[in-house]
Amino acid sequence: MIRTLFLRAATALGLAACAPALAQAPLLIGQSAPLSGPSMAVGQDIRDGARAYFNQVNAAGGVHGRKLELISLDDANSTAKSAENTATLVDKRNVLALFGYGSATLSVPALDLVERAKVPFFAPFSGADVLRRNLPYVYNLRASYADELEKIVEHYSSLGMTRFAVVHYDDTIGQQNLAVVARALDAYKLKPVATAPLKRGQKDVSKEVAAVLKVQPQVVIATTSYLGTSEFIKAARGKGSAAQFVSTSFAGASALADELGDKGVGVLMSQVVPAPSRASVKVVSEFKQAIAAIDPDKANSFTALESFIAAKALVEGLRRAGANPTRASLARALDSLHDYDAGGYTVRFSPESRNASKFVTLTMLGRDHTFRD
């Protein structure tokens, strides 16, 4: 009897000792991103912007006493690897949410699993139409490409420019982006005077540049990544083109600036977050302080700042989801972010609209290799 009582007491003590440990299990957030390969500059900025905010939260005690853990898996810009990573994160690692995938192309393979597992898919780095149809569990933080392109076309049209050319990828997502540009131009009764379809990873763009410059466009809008966009701009300027060149935010400001170097001065780029140079904006100031501990060289990264803001909004959702959040409770909490001020950047989600923002501004690349508004 004494032995039995001792074993029962020891078991009870053991369970009591385990309880705090279980309660302190980290909140797992999963990410598949191009951390290597041709788009790694953007993927690493997305990862590091989120890490900067999560580290800050963890240092302050976490969310309801639980630390955040970002599990970042490298997909090397491969859709097959992105799909594989998603399965690993959702089914094996049992993450609460997926976060910050690097493009629409990398996000689409995750959508079926997201819907099946009912896991929140938060802040993919894309404004593509394919992700913005109020899909179940897909939460878009940034403005759409349509919002960006409307701003671009409005700006140049106000200057009397009418001859627009478009650089896009020659695939499904690229064709969708071209259609978005066409819609923006149609509002001004305009059509593209030329298009340049590029293969992903294409290095020699001389043929496409020659075809575009032949019709003498006043404005060239690029919807491609920083590598395709920079190759096209450098080749076109090397041929003496005086056209205005402008990119959507998808290219990644820091990556595009690095690739263009001195040949990028005067290039415009639409952005979906305030400029990192605007330290008077509260969330920008917070970002500057937090990213310094990760990588001070990323202090001017629009992409890292966007990811920092996204991480802040996700954490607010986790706080509202309670001490023991589930995927379902997190989704409900995110839907409740009707008018959340992230510090000068407003996030508006609801069950009827999971597209949080329409904020767009235009920036120009200066001689200091930095985009500023």
pLDDT digits (tens, 9 = 90+) for 249-267: 999 999 999 999 999 999 9
Q: What is the pLDDT of residues 154-187, one digit of tens each?
A: 999 999 999 999 999 999 999 999 999 999 999 9
Same domain, residue pair 260 and 282: no
Least confident piece of the model among 31-35, 110-114, 128-132, 325-329: 128-132
Q: What is the pLDDT of residues 36-79, one digit of tens each?
A: 998 999 999 999 999 999 999 999 999 999 999 999 999 999 99
Nearest 10 degrees: Cα torsion 31, 36, 39, 43: 30
Same domain, residue pair 253 and 173: yes
Enclosing H/E stretch for 111: helix 111-117
User: For the domain that residue 191 is a member of, what is the CATH number?
Assistant: 3.40.50.2300
Q: How far is CA 224 from CA 3, 213, 306, 357, in A?
A: 72, 18, 19, 22
Same domain, residue pair 135 and 149: no
CA atoms of 223 and 10, how far apart (whole Å): 64
How high is the pLDDT of residue 148?
97
Residue 82 pLDDT > 80 = yes
Q: What is the pLDDT of residues 215-230, one digit of tens each?
A: 999 999 999 999 999 9
Residue 190 pLDDT > 50 = yes
Q: What average pLDDT does this structure show over 22-42?
A: 90
Same domain, residue pair 86 and 59: yes
Residue 1 pLDDT > 80 = no
Same domain, residue pair 267 and 328: no
Same domain, residue pair 31 and 133: yes
Same domain, residue pair 267 and 334: no
**Sequence-ordered list of residues with C-beta below 8 angstroms from that of 296, at least 6 positions apart, any chain:** none
Residue 21 pLDDT > 60 = no
Same domain, residue pair 149 and 261: yes
pLDDT band at 8; cut points 50, 70, 90:
low
Same domain, residue pair 122 and 224: no
Residue 16 lies in a domain: no
Same domain, residue pair 133 and 154: no
> Which tokens hold the place of 360?
């767009």
Backbone angles phi, psi at 251, to 5 degrees: -65, -25
Same domain, residue pair 249 and 289: no
Q: What is the pTM of this model?
A: 0.90
How high is the pLDDT of residue 134?
86
Residue 102 pLDDT > 50 = yes
Residue 206 pLDDT > 50 = yes
261: alpha, beta or left, given left = phi > 0 and alpha = psi -120 to 50? left
Same domain, residue pair 209 and 309: no
Following DSSP, what letter does each residue of 206-235 receive, concatenated? HHHHHHHHTT--SEEEE-S-HHHHHHHHHH
Residue 299 lies in a domain: yes
Residue 12 lies in a domain: no
How high is the pLDDT of residue 239?
96
What is the chain's mean pLDDT, rounded? 93
Residue 370 lies in a domain: no
Backbone angles phi, psi at 200, to 5 degrees: -65, 130
Residue 3 pLDDT > 60 = no
pLDDT band at 10; cut points 50, 70, 90:
very low
How high is the pLDDT of residue 20?
45
Range of the domain at 50: 26-143+278-357
Domains contained in the chain, number? 2
Q: b/e map of 347-357 (b: 16 or more CB within 10 Å)? A: bebeeeebbbb
DSSP state of 24: T
- Look up tokens 């005067």; give the residue: 266
Question: How many CA atoms are closer than 13 Å to the CA of 101, on its beta-carbon side?
Answer: 34
Residue 19 pLDDT > 90 = no
Q: What average pLDDT does this structure show over 237-242?
A: 96
